[in-house]
Amino acid sequence: MNAPSKPATPVVNKDELLQIVTFASSQIPAQVQASTERLKVLLDTHAGTYNGLHEIAADCSQPLQVRQQSIIQFKNAALAHWRSKKLLSEADRKEIRTRCLSFLGEIDDTIAECNEVNIAKIARLEYPHNWPTLFTEIMPVVESGLVALVNSPNATMASTLSLRRGLKVLNSIFKEFASIKFLTGIKTMLEVTDQLRAVLLGYYSQISPIILGIKDLSQECTIASLIVAHLSYKCLVKMALWAWPRIIRDTQGELTNLKSWFLQLFESSTAQLQALSELRISIVLALRSSATSDPLTSASIDRLTRHVRVFGKFFRRLQQLDPGKFVELPSCNQMVLYYWSKVVQAINDSPDMIQDSPTAVYPVRFLVQAMVLFKENLARWTPFRKGGPTTETSIDDFWDDPFTTDTPSAALSQQFVEDAVRLLVSRFIPLNPSDLEGWVADPEEWVNEEDKESEHWEYELRPCGERVLMTLAAQYRDYVVPLMETTFKAMIEQSTMDLASVVQKEALYCAIGRCATRLRDVIPFTQWMRHKLVAEARETNPNFPIVKRRIAWLIGKWIGDMCSPATDPTIWEILVHLLQDRGPGSDGVVRLTAANALHECVDTVNFDIAVFAPFLPVVITELMKLMSEADTMETKQRLAKTLNAVITRSDGHIIRHAQMIVEGVPALWTAAGDEWLFKAQLLVVVTSLITSLKEHSSSLLPLVVPLVQESLSPGVAVHLDEDGVNLWLAALRNSATLQSSSVPTLLQLFPLAISLLASNLDLLGKVIFIVESYLFVDASVILQNFSLDLMGAVMGAMLGQALQTNQKGILNCMNFMTQLAPSSLWGEAMHRAGFFSHIVKILREEESSSMILTECVFVLARIALADRAMFLRLVSAASQVGNVQEDKVWEAILDQFWRQFDHLSEPRHRKLVALGIASLVSTGRHEVLERVPNEIFNLWTDVLYEVRESRKHVEDGEDGGLNLYWDNDNVPQSYYAKSEGTLEYERRESVYERDPVRTLQLTTSLAGALQEAESACGGAHIFKVNYLDKTDPTVLKQLQTELAG
């Protein structure tokens, strides 16, 4: 029979599509919702929808908002379905490709920008095979537009529209192609770059004289020329940045032409940057003096500023991709030093010339670019470079000789370095008026932003200046350190009272902190702290919060960077005073910074709790008070992290102060509402508190139990479940009992553990440990109350989609259960829940993994060791449940005992299996005894050969236990499940020491099992005839020798 034909894909009705898009772009909510839902259906089911949307967008007779809606919908959906033959025919795709180029004359920016994305994404999929004419159609538009611009003194934004659109499309295509990682895409980008690089460089060369010869910024032709130049250069940058890593790796000379072009572009770019920068500065200075401006002039300045900045972006990205190769580029050093000269010039000019504005003489973004480029090149301009000659070159040498000194071995002169340091410390690092205004306006936000400076240093002047200073100190240590030492000695003798001197002192303290690791051998920090900083921390001058805040930061930095140990009580005296001081000369910024510094100092290797302990009550009181007073959750979270560090490092000293924390948490928790990050941090704090209190943590249960319950409740668990489970586990591991006089108790949470075990795959690994912890605390209580429910949850997890790792964890948990409680508490539940029969099923399935089979064998061996009679009953019950003969159950069990034995590497596991088998042999079951002559004796012989033991003998002749030569006390770390430092560790250790695998002598156990088997089967003669005589004589003799020894 012929296969049924697939139903034809419905074709969209274009009139309906137009109406839908019209309604979707309306201001009537009901129409928008209905049309949006209908459009989603059409996009997924009807052929021609995407082509129809594109056609509507191109129809200039339609309302603008309808066209915009159409192309936005096309951009958002069509590109993901471009390969769909059901929704897009080849004819549709061809029409769309052709129509895309018609948008190069589009007036509306929104439509044009969407079209740029569309062309780039489609080109990625279609070029060159299905769209070979892409560039031959775009380039003539660009070429003709550029010729018209160059030859016309009256160009306008309208006359350059197609040119600008074409360049933007090219830029988008290059960006898209450059992101392709596959070899075919790389080959395509290389071909396109080879085809267009010289052409586009020629375009920029044609437009460059026009922008360098700008006379009147208020002319429309000026801004049009600047935009075209900018767009042309961005295209060049995209190609150059793509080519740079490949040129570096080209050891075969395959990219020689590309390298020549790149070097030509780079050298011309360095010259162009300097020319444009000087032009811009002169123009802005002239405009400042004339004090006249108009919209076109402002727009032209903005465009010129952007264009200058794109050079810096290009250089910075090259530097990031390979700093070493970047510094070797011709004219690179001169270019970077030119940038630095602008930094120096900006500082020496009027302060109001530096602003974060495109119309400023020295825009902040330009200066930051300059400083970042300078900082990253400093590592190559050092007399201390390994493997390079020691040289000393002044900045003037760089400018006067553009090539011979342009090598990575060139070094800056001492005078240049010292001038740079003075400049940074005196002009860039000090707080400016806007910093101080932000301090006063929103102290919390100000502190939070200051703490994020490590993330934002590449975008702000002050943090960037600090990083430049740090690099200078690292690379020119012999110049910077003596200068900083001299400056420090001069400063500490000077009085500081007025705002200007306070700000300058703060800057020097900042510099010392930033260079702490370089200065620790020359700054007598302890003396300075005791004789100067203590007094300054108590100063009541209204300007001194600026210095106090920096003192707190400096101490945190100095101690945190391990420049001095946290063993001097003066450290805590200063920080605690700053933390609690609410009098004149202090404020919220000082207190919050002191809290952050406290965190840095506490969390160090050399922290001495004995020195810190006297300050502990005040620290906890003030941290709790600050948390309750803070307005922002980010600040609360930082304070909570500090409190957590204090708790963690204080260990047992926190016991007397725990109640203060416990009493404050509920109010903070309630006030936090849906601020989940802060709530998670509070859970971490309580977890640390429990870990520190250990056996004294029972008093926290009234707080812990409701926190765990809420953290794992619906709607909240998605945010807090992991932290809630960690708290729960910590409480269990540090608890001495499940039942106490306090209400609620940990026992009340066990039903929640059962529920999570059965149903929560995400938390399953942690929940298994929680169940284990419950069993270690009091397995009898748990099983007396929840044995059947627990085994039911175990089966739910085993039969579900639990990972093999988690299944192994569950089986290991069952091993502990058989050791921690009598079989009367778990045997029946194992049967009724189907656990034992499920184990047998796993043993009988061929596809079962070796890891799970091994764990199942361990469980069976543990059951046999714990109660062989229970084992026999479970086997009998399993045969009835599975409707199989009992001997088949025994066959599966004994087969896997033998097969998995060879997979066991640890002696304790091999001995466990041998003891389990011995327990089964002692039952006299014929299914077991039939395997004695071969498998069992061979297994025992292997274990006896490996496991060497002897009895310890004490003076009074009593049994002193076993000498376990095979063990060497190497307990696997996994056994303790990261419970070190808790009461559970001791419980696990105790179980390990009582384990029959360690306490039973193997030879005695095997001999005893054989004797019991003889009795069970009718005596020694029958046992010999039926089993021993069938044994290989060599094996039997070897076994008898081992047992006798």
Condensed to tens digits (0 to 9), the pLDDT of residues 57-75 reads 999 999 999 999 999 999 9
Q: Please say if the pLDDT value at position 395 is more than 50.
A: no
Q: Which residue type, as a one-letter code, is found at position 479?
A: Y
Three-class DSSP category at 992: helix
How confident is the model at residue 419, as a pLDDT?
94
State how far the Cα of 763 lies from the Cα of 717, in Å rounded to an integer. 11
Q: Given CA atoms 667, 669, 670, 671 in this order, what sign does their dihedral have?
A: positive
Check: CB of residue 640 under 8 Å from CB of residue 678.
yes
99 Cβ partners below 8 Å, 6+ apart?
A: 54, 55, 58
Check: CB of residue 893 under 8 Å from CB of residue 843.
yes
Q: Please say if the pLDDT value at position 399 is more than 60.
A: no
Give mean pLDDT, residues 456-476.
90
How confident is the model at residue 1043, as a pLDDT?
83
pLDDT winner (highest mean) among 105-109, 212-216, 906-910: 105-109
How confident is the model at residue 2, as a pLDDT?
52
775 Cβ partners below 8 Å, 6+ apart?
A: 782, 813, 816, 817, 820, 821
CA angle 751, 754, 757 (to 5 degrees): 150
Comparing CA positions, the residue from 55, 77, 81, 76 lying closest to residue 66 is: 55
Check: CB of residue 746 under 8 Å from CB of residue 785.
no
Q: Please say if the pLDDT value at position 406 is more than 80.
A: no
State how far the Cα of 10 lies from the Cα of 86, in Å rounded to an integer. 9
How would residue 197 be classed by pLDDT, with cut points 50, 70 and 90? Answer: very high
- The string over 473-492, giving b where at least 16 C-beta atoms fall within 10 Å of a residue's C-beta and e elsewhere, is bbbbeebbbebbeebbeebe
Phi, then psi, of 1001 in degrees rounded to 5: -80, 130
Check: CB of residue 46 under 8 Å from CB of residue 10.
yes
Q: Given CA atoms 203, 208, 211, 214 in this order, what sign does their dihedral have?
A: negative
Share of the chain above pLDDT 90, in %: 75
Q: Please say if the pLDDT value at position 34 is more than 80.
A: yes
Check: CB of residue 320 under 8 Å from CB of residue 369.
no
pLDDT per position as a tens digit, 123-139 = 999 999 999 999 999 99
How confident is the model at residue 968, as a pLDDT?
55
Phi, then psi, of 59 in degrees rounded to 5: -85, 105
Comparing CA positions, the residue from 618, 570, 613 lying closest to residue 595 is: 618
State how far the Cα of 807 lies from the Cα of 799, in Å rounded to an integer. 10
How confident is the model at residue 400, as a pLDDT?
40
Two tokens at 855? 């764990």
How would residue 407 be classed by pLDDT, with cut points 50, 70 and 90? Answer: very low
Q: Please say if the pLDDT value at position 518 is more than 60.
A: yes
- Provide the 10 A C-beta neighbour count for residue 195: 12
How would residue 794 be classed by pLDDT, with cut points 50, 70 and 90? Answer: very high
How confident is the model at residue 613, as a pLDDT?
94
Comparing CA positions, the residue from 323, 155, 127, 327 lying closest to residue 227 is: 155
Three-class DSSP category at 33: helix
State how far the Cα of 175 lies from the Cα of 185, in Å rounded to an integer. 12
Three-class DSSP category at 748: helix
CA distances from 857 to 769, 850, 877, 896, 914 (A): 21, 10, 18, 7, 11
Check: CB of residue 630 under 8 Å from CB of residue 442.
no
Region of 403 (left: φ > 0; alpha: ψ -120 to 50; beta: rest) is alpha
Q: Please say if the pLDDT value at position 903 is more than 60.
A: yes
Q: Which residue type, as a one-letter code, is found at position 882?
A: G
Q: Which residue type, as a one-letter code, is found at position 158?
A: A
- Mean of all residue pLDDT scores within the chain: 90
Judging by DSSP bridges, how do beta strands 362-363 and 354-355 pair with one another? parallel
Q: Please say if the pLDDT value at position 953 is more than 50.
A: no
Give the helix, strand, coil percentages of the chain, each rounded to 5.
75, 0, 25
Judging by DSSP bridges, how do beta strands 949-953 and 959-964 pair with one another? antiparallel
State how far the Cα of 527 lies from the Cα of 516, in Å rounded to an integer. 15
Place of tokens 């190497």: 970
State how far the Cα of 447 lies from the Cα of 440, in Å rounded to an integer. 11
Share of the chain above pLDDT 70, in %: 94
How confident is the model at residue 454, as a pLDDT?
65
Two tokens at 651? 């260990």
Strand-pair partners of 355? 363
Judged by average pLDDT, the poorest of 236-245, 482-491, 964-973 is 964-973
Check: CB of residue 726 under 8 Å from CB of residue 682.
no
- The string over 27-56, giving b where at least 16 C-beta atoms fall within 10 Å of a residue's C-beta and e elsewhere, is eeeebeeebeebbeebbeebbbbbbbbbbb
Check: CB of residue 589 under 8 Å from CB of residue 449.
no
Q: Please say if the pLDDT value at position 668 is more than 90.
A: yes
State how far the Cα of 963 lies from the Cα of 921, in Å rounded to an integer. 26
State how far the Cα of 602 lies from the Cα of 616, in Å rounded to an integer. 11
Q: Please say if the pLDDT value at position 313 is more than 90.
A: yes
CA distances from 579 to 492, 535, 586, 619 (A): 24, 15, 10, 8
Check: CB of residue 1014 under 8 Å from CB of residue 726.
no
State how far the Cα of 935 lies from the Cα of 899, in Å rounded to an integer. 10
CA distances from 958 to 961, 1008, 1031 (A): 9, 20, 37
Check: CB of residue 662 under 8 Å from CB of residue 692.
no
Give mean pLDDT, residues 470-486.
93
243 Cβ partners below 8 Å, 6+ apart?
A: 193, 255, 258, 262
Check: CB of residue 310 under 8 Å from CB of residue 268.
no
CA angle 863, 867, 873 (to 5 degrees): 85
Strand-pair partners of 412? 393
Check: CB of residue 965 under 8 Å from CB of residue 944.
no
Give mean pLDDT, residues 106-112.
95
State how far the Cα of 863 lies from the Cα of 566, in Å rounded to an integer. 54
State how far the Cα of 207 lies from the Cα of 230, in Å rounded to an integer. 10
State how far the Cα of 697 lies from the Cα of 734, in Å rounded to an integer. 7
Give mean pLDDT, residues 405-432.
82
Q: Please, where are the H alpha helices in 215-294?
A: 220-249, 256-290
440 Cβ partners below 8 Å, 6+ apart?
A: none
646 Cβ partners below 8 Å, 6+ apart?
A: 598, 599, 602, 616, 619, 620, 623, 654
Q: Please say if the pLDDT value at position 478 is more than 70.
A: yes
How would residue 739 be classed by pLDDT, with cut points 50, 70 and 90? Answer: confident
